[in-house]
Chain A
């Protein structure tokens, strides 16, 4: 056999492997070329008949031929349908075998989202203890002793001084007491009020407040712009905000913040009680009296603060109808927040 003939046989053998449609055919090709009495072993035996000059090239080619052919045979083995009797059939419809990831609690997810959004605007997360002092929770926040929120009936008091914080504002007091302005924080955390639990009230709940205090003018317009950005990021690009005048002891002016309804777009639906707006937050410019309590000079600083209920946002965002679901920890509920 000449080198040219060798190349032709090579081509034929490779084609035969490619064309084989089942395992039997493939095996026949294998036997024909590389079996004990196949063509390639036969050619090896005939090497002595090849002209001496061609012999090295011939031998080398036989080697590569055999290697390539066997590689292709191996590759094709997996492709051609195996005979039914040859082993178990793989069922690709079986469930995958890997552990299923868990999910974070919806309250955590909302807090993470709030931190992400305000993080983009340069707010960092600050935290404080759940057991707080009267000073941090009320006095420094300019809450008069006879303000309704001081009612023993509404607050968990341990004694005359210590209580479970009713809001996360004491964190603001702590941060301002410890740092000079600028202060730009959000304060997600757990709060407590002596509410009887029902579909919308829970004695144990979460709030996140925000505070920005600086030595350059900060205005209600800055507050509105910041909250409008938050509204769009949190609830969707079409959601807008409006302010309504209100009263909080620690801000002046104080406003309540409504988001336009993300469900109906403002035309009115069940979620927004036909008003087109959903009450989300309380906010305002920090009351000068608060600055005095934390050792800032009210003439030197400007600032705003806002606060919102985390569960409330979770309920609105995810359509949760009863706040109690959030503390029941039924995995059939939780697993839907993946």
Chain B
């Protein structure tokens, strides 16, 4: 909201304060200063009223004119580019040496397209008077050339742009802000006069007002003003409107806008003669009823909306915008002046539904003081009588259905001190509240009861009074002490488990990625269409790119790996911990997942990065990371079981089973998906349910004794069919080995072709150890023999020659 300081100064003395001081006072009263603007500039003697004595087309440029401008003493040849320059015009003339406020350049003798120019004719923007740069300023023809411009133009103005919080609707006016200043500065608030003379028949004889919806419209007042001469508004009024960003449109409309800006009461003037049967009905709109608003738009209304109607049709959308058919025009001389109170929720709903926002709805949505309806109406009537020569019909039609007209709230002084944390005496609190317009109705040593001023619609509870006291006493006065720790026994293990998971993954070389929770249906489909029906879709997304809640972390993980690859990142390992969402027959669900993804030779040493990475290598790297994670989080054994996945290469998709539970999916991304990044190297990803992974993060096993007896290690190496798995080999060994077998580790594996048959050569290191004695060679040899025999019998291995 724009607040010109000069206007503010009319109601409270603030002219002696600097912009910075005013700004700080507002800020610490709770009104945010969004900006401070200076309109107009101090003009020196080089700026004078000029008269265009002659004006001709520039010989070499169509758009330029060559003028002779008189500065009262001399005539100057000036080249001007404005379309509206013409002979006889009084203009704002900047002489040689003038510094133009907008841009700060100095006017010098210049040659424009071959014609000499001695000065400049200014636009309003060049003088920082407005944004208008359509043409040069056209000054009052009665001004005398040579008069200093600063004597005829308005003085520079400081205009604050304020952000008023939602609760402080009373500050959506110049008087509201002035009232706040008066309280902060302990100065007097001066209100303008609302007295005017009345004549003729009483207002009630001119119109009938019926309020059908007393909830939507708690108060409706109407005044009748006749014989208005709708001349242009006086300069001071249009200037103020302009400083507040409102266009001047003729006296009647200007007065309604002016009074709204001044006191916060939105007003509407109907052309009295257009109202059918001279009747005003405040009612709900009929379903589908149409109304053309003053902006020329046809609005379709519904029964939730409150309208102002005459005897036959809706004439205005209550509190939002008036209708074209009954609006005041240049020829209107008789008006019905509406000054009403509309309920905030209703106006808010209507304005939202129609997608309309007006200065009026902005105020009503935030609640307008019901007392203001009459004051605002009087103020406007007084101005129309004074400035427009109107005749005001005596009295007012006032349909007042407000429930509580005043509230009282009690403040316990000790409670206030406790909540604010300052030692503030009872009297000081009472004084603060009185300054803000509260009236003490009862008081003892414990509490005070205060009547809330009508404009403070936001004050309902003791806490609201405490806020007023804290704010006016000054938040800077609240002391800072050493903070006090208060120990609570709440369980934060879930948070620490996540932190542990992240720490493990980063130590394993994975960097954390973070993606939006929503993405496009197309991205999800490209990854896995199977889940389509169970997705949670956003009915009102910001764009189609973010229309569906993710049901997997993997599509974005794949995209991010690919994007990084296309930015010449040779290798990366990423993880994300985040939620996925779904919709199971109308019930949304969400679940936390952990995703991992690798690209490039992340599992190799730096001296071996260029050798192409194969799927088996990459899958085992990621499996290794999963195993390490499972160890660290005590999650249990990791198993992979072959499965099918539309986004993964055939034969390279796996279910992840942890501790016997299906926990996620893993695999090498298909060539079709990688193609968009022109990626030929494998990209391997995995996704797990966090719940399974994190469930035992802080579990502790039983501590085992450190072995006292030495271990005996033996290697066995053999050839075996490719189709026999590592798991089967280990199972076979464990089955026949004595309980002293404490470890089986594969240490070597390669394929060789023997007479056209692919055989796999593998080596296993077996470790034997007893907890009670030193094992003899003989014992171990026997065990190894047994193992070898079992491998030969069951898995048909061929023992490799040493």
Q: Please, how many angstroms separate the alpha-carbon atoms of A124 and B569 in the complex?
A: 39
Which A residues are CB-close (under 8 A) to B572?
A: 331
Which B residues are CB-close (under 8 A) to A129?
A: 590
Identify the stretch in B378-386, B491-499, B704-712, B757-765 within 8 Å (CB) of chain A at 4 or more residues: B491-499
**Which partner residue on chain A sits nearest B559 by CB separation?**
A329
* Interface bracket on B: 35 or more
Which B residues are CB-close (under 8 A) to A242?
A: 475-476
Which B residues are CB-close (under 8 A) to A312?
A: none
Neighbour of B515 across the interface among A124, A212, A329, CB < 8 A: A329
Chain B, residues 48-81, CB within 8 Å of chain A (1/0): the string is 0000000000000000000000000000000000
Whether B516 pairs with A331 at a CB distance below 8 angstroms is no
Whether B461 pairs with A122 at a CB distance below 8 angstroms is no
Which A residues are CB-close (under 8 A) to B155?
A: none
| Distance from B551 Cβ to chain A, minimum over Cβ atoms (Å) | 13
Whether A229 pairs with B509 at a CB distance below 8 angstroms is no
Whether A225 pairs with B480 at a CB distance below 8 angstroms is yes
Q: Please, how many angstroms separate the alpha-carbon atoms of A197 and B542 in the complex?
A: 9
Whether B567 pairs with A332 at a CB distance below 8 angstroms is yes
Which A residues are CB-close (under 8 A) to B494?
A: 125, 127
List residues 96-124 of chain A with CB under 8 A from any CB of chain B. Answer: 97, 99-105, 107-108, 112, 115, 119-124
Neighbour of B518 across the interface among A115, A204, A244, A302, CB < 8 A: A204
Chain A, residues 72-102, CB within 8 Å of chain B (1/0): the string is 0000000000000000000000110101111
Which A residues are CB-close (under 8 A) to B418?
A: 217, 219, 302
Identify the stretch in B161-169, B274-282, B630-638 within 8 Å (CB) of chain A at 4 or more residues: B161-169
Chain A, residues 34-46, CB within 8 Å of chain B (1/0): the string is 0000000000000
Which A residues are CB-close (under 8 A) to B517?
A: 130, 164, 190, 192, 204
Q: Say whether B38 faces chain A, with CB atoms less than 8 Å apart.
A: no
Whether B420 pairs with A100 at a CB distance below 8 angstroms is no
**Given A105-B514, A253-B466, A253-B471 in contact, is the A183-B488 Cβ separation under 8 Å?**
yes
Which B residues are CB-close (under 8 A) to A97?
A: 605-607
Whether A221 pairs with B492 at a CB distance below 8 angstroms is no
Q: Say whether A224 faces chain B, with CB atoms less than 8 Å apart.
A: yes
Q: Say whether A174 faces chain B, with CB atoms less than 8 Å apart.
A: no
Whether B512 pairs with A104 at a CB distance below 8 angstroms is yes
Neighbour of A121 across the interface among B466, B485, B503, B581, CB < 8 A: B485
Q: Say whether A270 faces chain B, with CB atoms less than 8 Å apart.
A: no
Q: Say whether B268 faces chain A, with CB atoms less than 8 Å apart.
A: no
Which A residues are CB-close (under 8 A) to B485?
A: 120-122
Identify the stretch in B26-34, B185-193, B294-302 within 8 Å (CB) of chain A at 4 or more residues: B26-34
Which B residues are CB-close (under 8 A) to A119?
A: 492
Whether B540 pairs with A131 at a CB distance below 8 angstroms is no
Whether A184 pairs with B464 at a CB distance below 8 angstroms is no
Q: Please, how many angstroms separate the alpha-carbon atoms of A224 and B480 in the complex?
A: 6
Q: Say whether B482 faces chain A, with CB atoms less than 8 Å apart.
A: yes
* Interface bracket on A: 35 or more
Q: Say whether A243 faces chain B, with CB atoms less than 8 Å apart.
A: yes
| Distance from B119 Cβ to chain A, minimum over Cβ atoms (Å) | 36
Which B residues are CB-close (under 8 A) to A331?
A: 511, 564, 569, 572, 574
Whether B567 pairs with A330 at a CB distance below 8 angstroms is yes
Whether A225 pairs with B482 at a CB distance below 8 angstroms is yes
Identify the stretch in A14-22, A49-57, A155-163 within 8 Å (CB) of chain B at 4 or more residues: A155-163
Whether A102 pairs with B508 at a CB distance below 8 angstroms is yes
Which A residues are CB-close (under 8 A) to B508?
A: 99, 101-102
**Given A130-B517, A151-B352 in contact, is the A224-B478 Cβ separation under 8 Å?**
yes
Q: Say whether A222 faces chain B, with CB atoms less than 8 Å apart.
A: yes
Identify the stretch in A23-31, A59-67, A260-268, A282-290 within 8 Å (CB) of chain B at 4 or more residues: A282-290
Neighbour of A219 across the interface among B421, B467, B503, B514, CB < 8 A: B421
Q: Say whether B47 faces chain A, with CB atoms less than 8 Å apart.
A: no
Q: Please, how many angstroms separate the alpha-carbon atoms of A129 and B517 in the complex?
A: 13
Identify the stretch in B342-350, B446-454, B690-698 within 8 Å (CB) of chain A at 4 or more residues: B342-350
List residues 207-236 of chain B with CB under 8 A from any CB of chain A. Answer: none
**Given A244-B28, A245-B28, A329-B514 in contact, is the A157-B540 Cβ separation under 8 Å?**
yes
Whether A245 pairs with B475 at a CB distance below 8 angstroms is yes
Q: Say whether B703 faces chain A, with CB atoms less than 8 Å apart.
A: no
Whether B30 pairs with A204 at a CB distance below 8 angstroms is no
**Given A122-B487, A125-B495 in contact, is the A157-B470 Cβ separation under 8 Å?**
no
Which A residues are CB-close (under 8 A) to B515?
A: 327, 329
**Which partner residue on chain A sits nearest B514 by CB separation?**
A105
Chain A, residues 197-223, CB within 8 Å of chain B (1/0): the string is 100000110000000101001011110
Q: Say whether A196 faces chain B, with CB atoms less than 8 Å apart.
A: yes
Whether A102 pairs with B464 at a CB distance below 8 angstroms is no
Whether B419 pairs with A219 at a CB distance below 8 angstroms is yes
**Given A101-B509, A252-B467, A254-B467 in contact, is the A222-B484 Cβ separation under 8 Å?**
yes
Q: Say whether B560 faces chain A, with CB atoms less than 8 Å apart.
A: yes
**Which partner residue on chain A sits nearest B483 by CB separation?**
A229
Q: Say whether A237 faces chain B, with CB atoms less than 8 Å apart.
A: no
Q: Say whether A271 faces chain B, with CB atoms less than 8 Å apart.
A: no
Neighbour of A225 across the interface among B30, B481, B506, CB < 8 A: B481
**Given A95-B606, A162-B588 in contact, is the A243-B478 Cβ separation under 8 Å?**
yes
Whether B475 pairs with A146 at a CB distance below 8 angstroms is no
Q: Say whether A177 faces chain B, with CB atoms less than 8 Å apart.
A: no
**Which partner residue on chain A sits nearest B495 by CB separation?**
A125
Which A residues are CB-close (under 8 A) to B481?
A: 221-222, 225
Which B residues are CB-close (under 8 A) to A122?
A: 485-488
Whether A182 pairs with B478 at a CB distance below 8 angstroms is no
Q: Say whether B251 faces chain A, with CB atoms less than 8 Å apart.
A: no
Which A residues are CB-close (under 8 A) to B482?
A: 225, 229
Whether B506 pairs with A104 at a CB distance below 8 angstroms is yes
| Distance from B266 Cβ to chain A, minimum over Cβ atoms (Å) | 16
Q: Please, how many angstroms separate the alpha-carbon atoms of A184 and B488 in the complex?
A: 7
Neighbour of A196 across the interface among B483, B542, B607, CB < 8 A: B542
| Distance from A322 Cβ to chain B, minimum over Cβ atoms (Å) | 15
**Given A130-B590, A147-B166 in contact, is the A194-B542 Cβ separation under 8 Å?**
yes
**Given A101-B507, A102-B505, A220-B419 in contact, is the A131-B590 Cβ separation under 8 Å?**
yes
Q: Please, how many angstroms separate the alpha-carbon atoms of A271 and B563 in the complex?
A: 31
Q: Say whether B444 faces chain A, with CB atoms less than 8 Å apart.
A: no
Chain A, residues 162-191, CB within 8 Å of chain B (1/0): the string is 101000000000000001001111000010
Which A residues are CB-close (under 8 A) to B487?
A: 122
| Distance from A204 Cβ to chain B, minimum over Cβ atoms (Å) | 4
Q: Say whether B122 faces chain A, with CB atoms less than 8 Å apart.
A: no
Q: Say whether A334 faces chain B, with CB atoms less than 8 Å apart.
A: yes
Q: Please, how many angstroms separate the alpha-carbon atoms of A288 and B560 in the complex?
A: 46
Q: Say whether A228 faces chain B, with CB atoms less than 8 Å apart.
A: yes
Whether A219 pairs with B420 at a CB distance below 8 angstroms is yes
Whether B167 pairs with A107 at a CB distance below 8 angstroms is no
**Given A146-B349, A329-B574 in contact, is the A99-B509 Cβ separation under 8 Å?**
yes
Whether A102 pairs with B480 at a CB distance below 8 angstroms is no
Whether A146 pairs with B344 at a CB distance below 8 angstroms is yes
Which B residues are CB-close (under 8 A) to A115?
A: 495
Chain B, residues 352-376, CB within 8 Å of chain A (1/0): the string is 1000000000000100000000000
Q: Say whether B539 faces chain A, with CB atoms less than 8 Å apart.
A: yes
| Distance from B65 Cβ to chain A, minimum over Cβ atoms (Å) | 43
**Which partner residue on chain B sits nearest A159 by CB separation?**
B539
List residues 128-166 of chain A with CB under 8 A from any CB of chain B. Answer: 129-131, 144-148, 151-153, 156-159, 162, 164
Q: Lowest 4 A-B CB distances belong to which pairs?
A: A221-B421, A219-B421, A245-B30, A253-B467
Could you jot down 16 A-B contacts, CB within 8 Å?
A: A101-B507, A122-B487, A122-B488, A185-B488, A214-B486, A219-B421, A220-B419, A220-B475, A221-B481, A226-B483, A243-B475, A243-B476, A244-B27, A247-B166, A285-B419, A329-B564
Residues of B within 8 A of A (CB): 27-30, 32, 165-168, 344-345, 348-349, 352, 365, 418-422, 461-464, 466-467, 470-471, 475-476, 478-488, 490-492, 494-495, 499, 502-503, 505-518, 536, 538-542, 546, 560, 563-564, 567, 569, 572-575, 578-579, 581, 588, 590, 602, 605-607
Question: Told that A94-B607, A102-B511, A105-B512 touch, could you supply 6 new A-B pairs with CB distance under 8 A?
Answer: A99-B509, A103-B511, A145-B345, A194-B540, A224-B421, A225-B484
